[in-house]
Amino acid sequence: MKKSMKRILLPVVLFAMAGIILSACSKYPTYTVNTEDLDMVWTEYDQSVNFAEFKTYYVPDTLLLDSTMSAEDKAYIQEYYENILEEINSNLSALNYTRVDSSANPDMGLVISIITQTNYVYSYSYWWYYPPYWGYPGYGYSYPWATYMGSYEEGALIFDLADLRNIDHQNKNINGIWSALCGGILTNSASTQISKRLLNGIDQAFVQSPYLGTE
């Protein structure tokens, strides 16, 4: 399956670390490169957290999608979700984290989402509201690190881990403790190539996060 530039799943992510903003959201090299050469993976975490203290996590079987997406785009993305979820669960299992049901009081919550907004800013503050199926409807979640990633053109695959053991019920806030974002141009890529690159991006996110794991 091929997609035009208006319907790419994961465009180039332009991000900044340590307060440096790199911004070129609409410019791509004019020379010939493979689309996978422009793929990138970004991760961040709460450095005060000991990830070995967490043992279990919960993730719903339903993908959290941008509500503004068309039905056609949602169907296109769902094509890859089963493989995405399986790959993330496989990596977490290799780190000795156990997936449990929401009724089992999991230590962490995993949310997987697709963002397709142009010039979306990913920064320190309340970014999203957790889905009601986590049992905390209306709770926002924030990150303890101050970071700014600039902008990305149309969308990205984002997967986050949140601390469900230390919820601020008074302020209705759940702390994000690890976040990963995978991005890349998918123009004129076959569906098999897109799937492979998505899985490679997920694996890379865990490779560059050696602090994760129960040991």
Task: Give the CATH number of the domain where residue 114 resides.
Answer: 3.30.160.670
Looking at per-residue pLDDT, the higher value among 78 and 148 belongs to 78
- Angle (nearest 5°) at CA 207 between 206 and 211: 70
Percent of the chain with pLDDT over 90: 31
| Residues contacting residue 202 through CB under 8 Å, at least 6 positions apart | 84, 87, 88, 91, 157, 159, 180, 182
125 domain residue, yes or no: yes
Distance CA 55, CA 96 (A): 7
Tokens standing for residue 81: 């979700």
Instruction: State residue 142's pLDDT score.
Output: 58
Instruction: State residue 75's pLDDT score.
Output: 74
Distance CA 212, CA 50 (A): 8
- Report pLDDT digits (tens) over 146-162: 555 544 444 577 889 99
Number of structural domains (the chain) is 1
Looking at per-residue pLDDT, the higher value among 112 and 131 belongs to 112
213 domain residue, yes or no: no
Model confidence at 5: pLDDT above 50 = no
Q: Which domain holds residue 178?
A: 5-21+37-187+195-207
Among the residue ranges 23-37, 43-57, 94-108, 133-147, the one predicted with the least confidence is 23-37
Residue 211's pLDDT band (cuts 50, 70, 90): very high
- For the chain, the farthest-separated pair of C-alpha atoms sits apart, in whole angstroms, at 54
88 domain residue, yes or no: yes
215 domain residue, yes or no: no
pTM, two decimals, is 0.66
Model confidence at 27: pLDDT above 60 = no
Q: Are 89 and 99 in contact (CB under 8 A)?
A: yes
Residue 99's pLDDT band (cuts 50, 70, 90): very high
